[in-house]
Chains A and B, each alone.
Chain A
């Protein structure tokens, strides 16, 4: 069964304390992996798309990496404004447009 699992469910960090969020996937074939940020009461906001193992993308304090089984979202020296829920989603290869599987997210809280 195709599955996407995010860990941890929640993470509390001190401002400046770097860490990583994990997204592991078990799918029949990967077309692309997406990272989104979601603030309370708002829709998910696109961050990155990764397509193949070894690929990396960066944006400000965020860096996303991809292996054949998982993706990491590394947060370097986070600030309180980085607090949000981070969602990962996988689009399957050899599938219709409908086959995008979302993980349940990691709630990140950064204390000043």
Chain B
């Protein structure tokens, strides 16, 4: 299993440009999430999905869109990049059924994004 994969690893954008960060998992996990990590702060949830076709907002959703057309893929779209979106972005997935203990999240290697 490749686990959770993310592309690209690094990206530089200019203010106002748009782009899509890719995330894929091969563990047949239902839950997938996007986080951003900034210096001195904990990981903050941007958007999440509990299954194909179902997405919802997390703590910091503004400026980002997601969709989930398949179980495997969960892309994150930046609509009009701003310097405040400079961060490291992590995708995570987990298998969870209510009442079971196995809801550990597995993280991808991250995408380091700089917006000039």
Contact = CB atoms under 8 A, between A and B. Distances in A.
Contacts of A4: 42
Contacts of A102: 35, 42-44
A100 B41 contact: no
Contacts of A42: 109-110
Interface size class of A (residues with CB under 8 A): 20 to 34
Interface in B96-114: 96, 101, 103-110
Contacts of B59: 98
A97 B96 contact: yes
B45 A98 contact: yes
A97 B96 CA distance: 9
A59 B90 CA distance: 25
B107 A43 contact: yes
A43 B56 contact: no
A11 to B, nearest CB: 16
A106 to B, nearest CB: 12
Interface stretch (A14-22, A44-52, A69-77): A44-52
20 contacts: A32-B101, A34-B104, A43-B4, A43-B108, A43-B110, A44-B107, A45-B107, A49-B101, A87-B43, A91-B103, A97-B48, A97-B50, A97-B96, A98-B56, A98-B58, A98-B59, A100-B45, A101-B42, A102-B43, A104-B42
Given A32-B101, A43-B109, 17 more contacts: A4-B42, A32-B103, A41-B110, A43-B92, A43-B107, A43-B110, A44-B43, A44-B90, A49-B101, A49-B104, A87-B42, A91-B103, A96-B56, A97-B48, A97-B96, A98-B48, A98-B58
